[in-house]
Structure 1
Amino acid sequence: MKKGYKVTGVKREKKIGVAAESLHELIEKSHKKLEFNVSCGECNLYVAEDGTLVDNDEYLATLPPQTVFILLKGSEKMITDFDYYYNMILSTKKEYIDTGAAAKQFLSTNIKEKFKVFQKYIASADDARIELSERTQDPAWFEGLEPSEKTKEQSMSKRVKERMRGYYYKTKSALQSSETYVQSRNGRGKKIIDQFLLDLRKLLESNKYNEDYFNRKADKSVRMCNVTGLFECGGLWNNNKCAYEGDHIINPYRSREERIIFQTWNLDHKIELSRSIIPKILEAIEVLYKGDFKCTVCDKYSKPGSIDTDRYYLQIFTKNNLKLVHIVCHHKGRHNAASDVYTVCNNCSRHTIEYI
């Protein structure tokens, strides 16, 4: 069944509507309507809001109708949300940024100082609007969002779910492109990985993709913000607090501008997904191949068993391993923290772990 989407180019000069039921059809129609001068095979499709690459029909099917995509030619690079939206605000929202000396100063400083200046201007927004929740009460906040998003809390919950889906598909893509999956003996590695991914997705669905992390009305033990919607940076991955205390704070519930800037904040994996967690998942599969492994739960060596999906779920998707950080505190170098091989015997396979 076809769904309607919105597609634009990297410069956002033209936005088109496209009805498609597959990724190939979506790219082909978008390529034609946008009049790209390269072949379809040289184009890639990204979710406009968070930059996630859409590379298969399964992921496309999880995205709602009217999702906005960016179609890039092979030689083009994604423009970050911060760069694009800052330029847009600079040109259209003069009440927040003086386009004269202040703008010149903003653009000439380094990134740390840049965010400090930006924070000062954003903080001048009407604080009274923070408490407003419904679209009818604060329509300006919802500009650019889907009509189905009726409250700020619903919209912020949707942003979390999109990030979680991104982590899932990054994990799935890495595992299914591995030698263990492609060249497994008798297809056993493929079966183990497929089952692991199915179990991982079931956990995500049962926990509603951790949608309450950004919801200010959720329980205090779950949400990452206070009751007004104020978020504070957690600092570098190996620190207990932010070194820029008082500067790295944001309330995306206050204004559309602050909501947009919040997209540049990262959920940083303290134990890295690509460098540590995924390699350990593949190592766990190799251990299962050998047939004699140590159970994570009972600490006994066993033969029949499976991957301890719960443990990896905690590391990929929950606050056990995720820290919300300002872009300045997002360290992209190697983290000195490691995952482990988590396997479970059949006797312990139904154990449960508390999810945060």
Structure 2
Amino acid sequence: MFGLFGKSIPVKVRSYSESRKHGVAAKDLKELLKKACKALQVPHSGAHVCLYSDGTKVTEEFFLTLPDHTELVLLSREQTWSGVVCDIGQLLKTDQHADGLIEAAKGLLSGERSPKRRKILTDLLQSLEDRSELESREEDEEWFRGVDARFKTKSGYMKFNCESRIRGYMKEVDDATKTIQKAKVRAEFLKTSKCLAEMLKTARYNGCYFDRTEKEPDRLCTKEGWFTCQGSFDQDVCQSLHSINPYGSRESRIIFSTWNLDHRIEKKRTIIPTLLEVLQNHRTTDVNLTYFYRLLFTRENLKLVHIVCHKKGAHNLLCDTKKIFRKASNTDKGNPKNKGKKRRLM
């Protein structure tokens, strides 16, 4: 309903320093200022109102076009308002304890309808709730809610989280055995799988990637726990600059579980099928298992990506045929059994 033909317009008005809103109905701007100044105890002389959303000053003509329940800010002569950023600015200027700031931010967010302002306030609230400097379960019990009691530190759990993902890749290699019909090939593939498992076990399943206590070359995050999206498989960097700190809050930890360790050269479509094809006509000892290990389980072929940057379509990248087989040693070359043997991918 609009303020035409003498009808009153219901609006919500708050003062510069308070977030509590008052419902006021008025036929024109003059009546609105009179009622609002009385309700909010603001001097009438020089008082004016602005849109809460962006600070636009409300004139008599503009007031008559306002939709019902528009949010306004009542200001005294010397006060100005630039929109929701003023609320955030005032909030950050206060000397409140972190818990007080969080409650204040939640108060601003409560009942907020504008998607853009909700996004700003949500991001601010997430920043205020960051507790990444804390490490143990005793220090930050909320972070560990839903996490098995055997984990006592955030780094320990994050390391386990990464190990679990890498173990899952190893399981997919093992499961490929079920697709092999020839007993001889299946036996060779089992040997290959066992060797890869031993290599992975020696590397402790590369859990260091998510552990912020590890050295910088080994971890994928900063020492504070910040991870940055590395972009989709066909890009050098993330165009959206996605980043997250799962050490900061329980919510961030859960959201991080949706990020992917994506294989550039694909695991199911390319790496495992290539390994199976090689073993059709070659032995495990002929294969460069180190190369396949790096493709399956290490940062040489893995990229940490935000779910938005994870392209699920075919990557169309192939294994390097020059690296698939082991280089023949002098002993191999002198062995009569190896003379004339072609090492090629069938």
TM range (shorter): 0.5 to 0.7
* Alignment-derived partner of residue 129 in structure 2: 126
* Alignment-derived partner of residue 206 in structure 1: 202
- Deviation string 1:254-293 (CA, Å, 9 cap, x unpaired) is 000100000000001000001110111012112317xxxx
- For residues 27-66 of structure 1, the aligned pairs below 5 Å read none
Contact 1:96 1:122 in 2 (8 A): no
Q: Provide structure 1 residue ranges, at least 5 long, that are not aligned to the other structure.
A: 1-93, 107-113, 290-303, 350-356
- 1:176 and 2:177 are equivalent in the alignment: yes
Contact 2:221 2:228 in 1 (8 A): yes
Give the whole-Å Cα distance in 2 for the aligned partners of 1:305 and 1:317.
Answer: 20
AA partner of residue 263 (structure 1): S
- For residues 78-117 of structure 1, the aligned pairs below 5 Å read 95=106, 98=109, 105=115
* Alignment-derived partner of residue 143 in structure 1: 145
**How far apart are residue 172 of structure 1 and its match?**
1.5
Question: CA 1:305/1:348 → structure 2, altered by over 3 Å: closer, same or farther?
Answer: farther
Residue from 198, 217, 240 that aligns with 2:236: 240
Question: CA 1:100/1:330 → structure 2, altered by over 3 Å: closer, same or farther?
Answer: farther
- 1:218 and 2:214 are equivalent in the alignment: yes
Give the whole-Å Cα distance in 2 for the aligned partners of 1:316 and 1:191.
Answer: 21
Contact 2:106 2:125 in 1 (8 A): no
- Deviation string 1:188-218 (CA, Å, 9 cap, x unpaired) is 1011011011001001100000011001110
Give the whole-Å Cα distance in 2 for the aligned partners of 1:348 and 1:213.
Answer: 37
* Alignment-derived partner of residue 88 in structure 1: none
* Alignment-derived partner of residue 269 in structure 2: 275
Give the whole-Å Cα distance in 2 for the aligned partners of 1:96 and 1:270.
Answer: 45
**How far apart are residue 310 of structure 1 and its match?**
1.1
**How far apart are residue 219 of structure 1 and its match?**
0.7
* Alignment-derived partner of residue 318 in structure 1: 298
Question: CA 1:346/1:133 → structure 2, altered by over 3 Å: closer, same or farther?
Answer: same
Contact 1:125 1:255 in 2 (8 A): no
Equivalent residue of 1:267, what SS?
strand
Question: CA 1:154/1:206 → structure 2, altered by over 3 Å: closer, same or farther?
Answer: same
- Deviation string 1:199-254 (CA, Å, 9 cap, x unpaired) is 01001100000011001110100100011000000011111100012xx1100000
AA partner of residue 177 (structure 1): K
Question: CA 1:97/1:206 → structure 2, altered by over 3 Å: closer, same or farther?
Answer: farther
**How far apart are residue 123 of structure 1 and its match?**
3.2
Give the whole-Å Cα distance in 2 for the aligned partners of 1:125 and 1:250.
Answer: 14
Give the whole-Å Cα distance in 1 for the aligned partners of 2:300 and 2:259.
Answer: 18
**How far apart are residue 345 of structure 1 and its match?**
6.2
* Alignment-derived partner of residue 344 in structure 1: 326
Contact 1:235 1:242 in 2 (8 A): yes
Contact 2:265 2:317 in 1 (8 A): yes
Contact 1:213 1:222 in 2 (8 A): yes
* Alignment-derived partner of residue 309 in structure 1: 289
Question: CA 1:202/1:133 → structure 2, altered by over 3 Å: closer, same or farther?
Answer: same
**How far apart are residue 97 of structure 1 and its match?**
11
Normalising by structure 2, we get a TM-score of 0.59
Equivalent residue of 2:127, what SS?
coil
Contact 2:109 2:121 in 1 (8 A): no
**Runs of 4 or more off by more than 6 Å in structure 1?**
116-119
Question: CA 1:286/1:118 → structure 2, altered by over 3 Å: closer, same or farther?
Answer: farther
Equivalent residue of 1:139, what SS?
coil
Contact 1:122 1:257 in 2 (8 A): no
Equivalent residue of 1:268, what SS?
strand
Contact 1:161 1:211 in 2 (8 A): yes
Structure number with bigger Rg = 2
**How far apart are residue 171 of structure 1 and its match?**
1.8
AA partner of residue 125 (structure 1): L
Equivalent residue of 1:287, what SS?
coil
Residue from 172, 195, 214 that aligns with 2:191: 195
AA partner of residue 126 (structure 1): E
- 1:249 and 2:243 are equivalent in the alignment: yes
Give the whole-Å Cα distance in 1 for the aligned partners of 2:329 and 2:240.
Answer: 48
